[in-house]
Structure 1
Amino acid sequence: MTNIQKQINKVTQKITHATTQVHRNEHEIQLLAVSKTKPIQLIKEAYLAGLRHFGENYVQESVEKIQTIKLDDDFQDPIVWYFIGPLQSNKTRPVAENFDWVQSVDRLKIAQRLNDQRPDHLPALNICLQVNISGEASKSGTTLSQVIDLASQVSDLPRLKLRGIMAIPQKTENLQHLEKQFDELHNIYQKLQILYSEVDTLSMGMSGDLESAIKCGSTMVRIGTDIFGARD
């Protein structure tokens, strides 16, 4: 068993424990392996251990990985690729052409460009709206008060499919404050589910806070460090 396999096993055990604690089914939680800055060899080890969902942050690096992996016979089942980093308008085309999901849409301009640049032969691009739940200036994301309006605009774009919301909460040792942020996100998520039948993804929770995220209703956790080690 490789070290990556051992780490994945530990993460899945944490997910199982967290869901059991709050009487949820572990199969409700999608594990997204965050492979930014990591070499293809480590992605391959995670793939051979059973993972198929991978998240990337940097456009040029990730597109090179995606194109290389397409030519590698060891990757026989398709990978579902998620772009989860801040996205500038001049870099939307390669993302629209290569990814299955974008979880970091925070304004209409980005959504419109992704829609217009999505190739016709590919299915609609799955979209999560990024919410700046903590209001920190250093973080991307729309505000809680703007989410519903942005969702309405994105849902009208034919080459995009609105699937939910994503957020990175403020880093804090105060568990009550952390879970308050997660609860606010879950409330918005439930409102979107009422409005849009295809909304099924609440992407929140990372290596350091997945238990609280699952407790508060997350359906997808983004795990990098606990699988691949610290960022290079």
Structure 2
Amino acid sequence: MKYYEKLSQMGTFEMKDMIAIINNASTVKSVLKEYLGKGYIIRVKKNLYAAVNLSTGNTFADRYQIGCAVAEDAYLSHHSAAEYYGFANQVFNEIYVTTKKKIVPFEYNNTRYTFVSPELYAGVISPETRRGIRVTDTEKTILDCINNMDRAGGLEEVLKIIESVTYLNEQKLIEYLNEFDKKFLYQKVGYMLEKHANDLRLSQKFFEHCQSNIGKSKRYLIAREELLRQEYNSKWNLIVEGRLSDILGQGGGELV
């Protein structure tokens, strides 16, 4: 167990990390084989290992840390970021990781790791309280979830995530929205956040900014075939689910 303590402090590691610790490339393979055989470490995927807590039998790294370890630029996003912050209503058996690196999805310990190409890199932080974690900040998390609701559990789950948030920095939201530069996203964000404006401390100017960028196209909030009762919201030029517009208090003329 000569190298176990250093490996356990790292949590997750690659072959290059073992070479740096052992300082003898010819010894690394034998140590790796020994530690795997004795259960000191486990193989997560090709060239990614995790040290095992011998007292509990679990890895020192949790599933979020493992997700962030797959690439140097990898970070938690979408529903996984919402889970990390405690905003999510559900905990999925799938971790969403954003990275420029092309990585084949894999499963480990009953969790599927899915990789997403970044649309923009703004809004990624490394919390001081958790080693090895990179995650979108609250504002980027909300925008990512609204931008791609399929990666956040669907519309109703996204609404529950929004309800769990107590504050959003509108300057950050505007900065990220401008970088996304997507009219549809301005529509969805304005519609879905407006009811919670007071709770989230968003000013009227924020919604005016969103509305000024929505364009003239009428769009469906979710896929047309998923709408049980279509309703048109004229302010945001969106065709929405009537049941949810009742919940949000944003009615409109029902489509005929």
Give the greater-gyration-radius structure (CA).
2
- TM-score of the aligned structures, taking structure 2 as reference length: 0.26
- TM-score of the aligned structures, taking structure 1 as reference length: 0.27
| Structure ranking higher on relative contact order (CA contacts 8 Å, 6+ apart) | 1
